Structure 1
Amino acid sequence: MRGDIERARLGPDVLLGTSIAIAGPSGRQSRAPEVCFVTSRWLRRWNGVATPALRLICFPYAGGGASMFNRWRLPDELDAEIWAVQPPGREARRGEEPLRRLEPAIVALALEIRPLLDRPFAFFGHSMGALLAFELCRYLRRSGAPEPVRLLVSAHRAPDLPPWRPPASRLPDREFLARLTEMAGPSRVAAVNAELLSALAPTIRADFELCETYAHVAEEPLSIPLTCFAAVDDPEVRVDEMTAWRRHSSAGCQIYPFVGGHLFIRDQAEDVLDRIAADLDLDDCPAYGGVQQ
């Protein structure tokens, strides 16, 4: 069991001790993960397109790390590469303290991500990752930096809505594990193991605290289109809370319903990627100047 716990610390996310292939709706499996290119403590590149036309930058959910995206691929015709954010306190950064407030994460990410803004890019975030991606969009806008061509959010209520479930970060261990088990829901690949979760609990609790202490500040809606992914059986986020994202964009909002609980993304990665690819139409992107180095 000790070996399992160590693999979980290094592995793709909080609920999985080892890396697995994910079968899509058609039964096909995604390709094996490619070599990870480490460009900074915060960023990992999971494919090696030499001159991409587009970058998709992905933000993990609470307790997750960059490797949860290690099998993600977009169609070749998009000429895209996948990047993933690696927060502190997990995987290769497991020796660092996880962050408990959102603002320091956004400030650090805005600095680290700057070299990637020389061509069109999009943000995708699931759960906690959706909140990080949204606030990073607004931070980039305030600082005059290039903005994404699209923001794709999954399994997180619209940021201006108050939570309707009680905070989880300070629950006693037994109740905390029960909440995580409920979040995993019917997922075929999110195998909940009490001992593994106990080892990872400090990081998960810190991520929950980051979300629970977030205070929304009203600003003008984003001028980029939004895509929302919502599970109709998610015990944490209602569908109406996902549709409320519409008011945070002046450029339109597409909503895709799924089933599979809060972690539906684990079982339905292929279907999610198909919809991401469909919405990332570079022909609709304005002329792109990129960041000035």
Structure 2
Amino acid sequence: MTGAGRGGAAPVGAGFENYLAASPPDDGRLRLFCFHHAGGGATAYASWQRELGPDVVVLPVQLPGRETRAREPRITDMAELTGVLNRVLGPALRAPFAFYGHSMGGAVAYNLTLARQRRGERLPERLLVGACPAPHLPAVLASTEAMSDEEMARVLVRIGGMSEMMLRYPDWLTAATDQVRDDLRVCTGYDRTELPPLACPVEVFSGVDDPLLPAGDAAAWESHALAGFRLHRVPGGHFFFRESPESPEAPEEFFRALRGAVARMATVAR
């Protein structure tokens, strides 16, 4: 599909409407493309527009094989996935934009940024990643690949990535863990040896109680950031952007830090 969408949106590529709920308005605001965690979907970012305010357009990216795209085959290869994303989102990446990726989404956002850098294409104003180790380090949950479905599910329940109710429904549990396994293949299957530093600033968000991401693995992103680096240690565990009984203040602290990053980029975009 090409041409202008509603509200004077920028032209978009074939398949664009599958990955974004709507074409981004061409109104000069910063575009924040958000990539979801393993086993997740675009609805993880449903509240973010409200949280971040009117200076940014929040654009959750929906990968195939989940939620509204549940009937589509999932992509399990990082190079294939970033190639598809660059093709379908590329026309919307000509105006000022940023990437945020959480856990697996951080690896996807990083690899998409790196692919664009290698092609000499426009880079994000900033790469923002949450709960994601530096690119040269092993992916989170990589050790769960050999686990049974129930063992993996219990790990996901413990970190807040799956409802405990799923343990009572074997068919649902199998479907959910199959999706996580496919997403983990994306995270573990790319070459980690030739990773030049990025020519855009990088900001990393890390939960102080995240059992999957030691502080050093988050800080190690600095070696991949040629144009500036900032590490935010925020309350909460692996899913610090969600409210939980253990850390009810976590989302508030995280969004305060994220709003600061967005404000800095929005000023540049204007």
Name the TM tier (shorter chain): 0.7 to 0.9
Match of 1:273?
A: 255
Segments of 5+ residues of structure 2 without an aligned counterpart are 1-14, 244-249
Residue equivalent to 1:75: 53
Where do residues 106-185 of structure 1 align in structure 2 (5 Å cutoff)? 106-162=82-138, 167-184=143-160
- Partner residue in 2 for 1:89: 65
Would the alpha carbon gap of residues 164 and 123 (structure 1) be closer, same or farther in structure 2, given more than 3 Å must change? Answer: closer
Counterpart amino acid of 1:143? R
* Aligned residues between the structures: 243
CA apart distance, 1:257: 1.0
CA shift in 2, pair 1:237/1:220, >3 Å: same
Normalising by structure 2, we get a TM-score of 0.81
Matched, 1:241 2:217: yes
- Is the 8 Å Cα contact of residues 170 and 205 (structure 1) preserved in structure 2? no
CA drift at 1:157? 0.6
Farther off after superposition, 207-216 or 92-101: 207-216
The code of the aligned residue for 2:164 comes to V
Residue identity in the other structure for 1:123: F
Alignment-derived partner of residue 65 in structure 1: 41
CA distance in 2, matches of 1:86, 1:165: 21
Counterpart selection for 2:164 from 175, 192, 209: 192
Amino acid at match of 2:21: R
Mapped partners of 1:192, 1:238: distance in 2: 25
CA, structure 1 residues 165+65, in 2 after alignment: closer, same or farther (shift >3 Å)? Answer: closer
User: Do the aligned residues in 1 keep the contact of 2:20 with 2:59 (CA within 8 Å)?
Assistant: yes
Distance in 1, matches of 2:259 and 2:235, equals: 20
Comparing 211-220 and 97-106, the one that deviates more: 211-220
CA deviation map 1:105-149 (0-9, x unaligned): 100000011121231100000000000000000111111211100
3-state DSSP of counterpart to 2:179: helix
CA distance in 2, matches of 1:203, 1:216: 23
Q: Counterparts of 2:53 and 2:142 in 1: how far apart (Å)?
A: 40
3, 16, 19: which one aligns with 1:42: 19
- How many Å apart are 1:75 and its aligned residue? 2.6
**Can you give the 5+ residue segments of structure 1 that lack an aligned partner in the other structure?**
1-37, 288-293
Q: Which of 231, 234, 239 lines up with 1:258 in the alignment?
A: 234
Aligned 8 A contact 1:45 1:84 in 2: no
Given that 2:30 and 2:269 are in contact with CA atoms closer than 8 Å, whether structure 1 keeps it comes out as: no
- How far is the alpha carbon of 1:260 from its aligned partner? 2.2
Structure-1 separation of matches of 2:16 and 2:186: 25
Coordinate RMSD, CA, aligned: 2.4
Question: Aligned pair in 2 of structure 1 residues 200, 112: CA closer, same or farther (>3 Å)?
Answer: same
Q: Deviations over 1:207-228 (max 9, x none)?
A: 1222122321323311211111
Tell me, in whole angstroms, the C-alpha distance in 1 between the residues paired with 2:82 and 2:140.
Answer: 25
CA distance in 2, matches of 1:126, 1:53: 22
Query: What is the TM-score with the length of structure 1 in the denominator?
Result: 0.75
Structure having the larger proportion of residues in helix: 2
Cα distance in 1 for residues equivalent to 2:140 and 2:71 = 33
What is residue 104 of structure 1 aligned with on the other side?
Answer: 80
Letter in 1 for 2:147: L
C-alpha spacing 1:147/1:163, structure 2 compared with 1 (3 Å): closer
Question: How far does residue 63 in structure 1 lie from its aligned partner after superposition?
Answer: 0.9
Q: Distance in 1 between matches of 2:253 and 2:22?
A: 22
